[in-house]
Amino acid sequence: MAEGIEVRHARSCASRGGRRCNCEPGYRVAAYDAISTRKVSKTFRTLGEARRWRATAQTQAAKGVRLASTAQTLLNAAEALFDGIASGAIRTKAGERYKPSVVREYERSLRLHILPKLGGAKLSKLQRRDVQRLVDELLESGADPSTIRNALKPLQVIYRRAIEDGDLAVNPCERLRLPAARGRRERIASPTEAAALITALRPDDRALWGCAFYAGLRRGELRALEWSDVDLVSGLIRVERSMTGYGEAGEPKSRAGRRGVPIVAACSSQLASMPRRSPATSATRRSRRLSISMGTSCQATRKKRWRSSTHISSELTPDTGSPSLDPASSCFRLRHRVLDSALC
């Protein structure tokens, strides 16, 4: 018998009395785990399975992968993940700190979707079929495909780090059958439609939504935009930072997010008509932001103004057969309509 593999006969097997085996023996295989400094053993039904496991275990041990199972549960691993993110010890693949919005989304996904089902499972015992079962249950409950994919992101981070640290060899998040996430494509607003939507707003809100339409700024970029970033003479908006809905300032969404955006004529006139705070009243960065100067009417008020305007209703329902434009559009949707409006 190969070294490290032991034949295990049943207690009632005739081989125990020196006769021919009349049972289906198992094969116990052992390998030394240098990380836990103890021997790890498993029993298989066939000799081939035992030999394959031993060969794999020896390869993993040579790479510094932990063979012994760990007592850490998924809940413990999640807590360690957020502690590391908070201290800065755990970072993204690019080596950057996680943004607060990403951390909140990770925490929400784990709390609502992952931990209630899998939180008590040991990290080393969780298998791909367990994660696949969770995906199937979420899909059956009516969860959106993008919600399911986003819910798995913190779980993928936990297992990616465990494998990189040599604590695990198999990632249960790989080769999952995930539903396709197909975003709904909406038609682009025409310049006439954009002008109608902006005209229906309060005068002190028009520049803000004009920047969403004509400059394509993200919601967080609009929150953090300061008057010093707007150069009407050169016709350029400098995007230098972003801000969450909780008032947390940081870098733009991506490296390409730090950019200069040309100010088209329609947006320039709206910005020029906005009153600026005097230096005496602009001592704090908060008072220098455009979103504070503009008033930023609440979402419900904006939707009410857009939907109650008969002029807009007729403008957004073309006779050409193209789909009507939802007047309750968010800032996220508006920024993706900038190109056609700016070039026409």
Q: Where are the domains of the chain?
A: 5-62, 74-164, 191-317+325-343
> In 158-317, where do the E strands start and end?
230-231, 236-239, 242-243, 249-250, 259-262
Is there a contact between 199 and 207 (Cβ–Cβ < 8 Å)?
no
Where is average pLDDT lowest: 29-33, 45-49, 216-220, 302-306? 302-306
Distance in angstroms (rounded) separating the CA atoms of residues 17 and 330: 80
Distance in angstroms (rounded) separating the CA atoms of residues 86 and 94: 17
Is there a contact between 256 and 280 (Cβ–Cβ < 8 Å)?
no
Check residue 216 and give its pLDDT.
Answer: 85
For the cut 80, the answer to whether the pLDDT of residue 38 exceeds it is no
Average pLDDT (222-227) is 86
Give SS3 for 239: strand
Using one digit for the tens of pLDDT, what is the confidence trace for 58-116?
777 777 776 666 778 999 999 999 999 999 999 998 888 998 889 999 999 999 999 99
Nearest-Å Rg of the Cα atoms of the chain is 30
**Sequence-ordered list of residues with C-beta below 8 angstroms from that of 187, at least 6 positions apart, any chain:** 322, 323, 325
Find residue 343's DSSP bridge partners: none
Is there a contact between 236 and 228 (Cβ–Cβ < 8 Å)?
no
How is residue 158 annotated by DSSP?
H
Structure tokens at 96: 């950057």
> What fold does the segment set 74-164 form as a domain?
DNA polymerase; domain 1 (1.10.150)
Distance in angstroms (rounded) separating the CA atoms of residues 271 and 206: 9
Find residue 236's DSSP bridge partners: 231, 262
Distance in angstroms (rounded) separating the CA atoms of residues 130 and 127: 5
* pTM (predicted TM-score): 0.63
Considering only residues 185 and 317, tell me which one the structure prediction assigns the higher pLDDT.
185
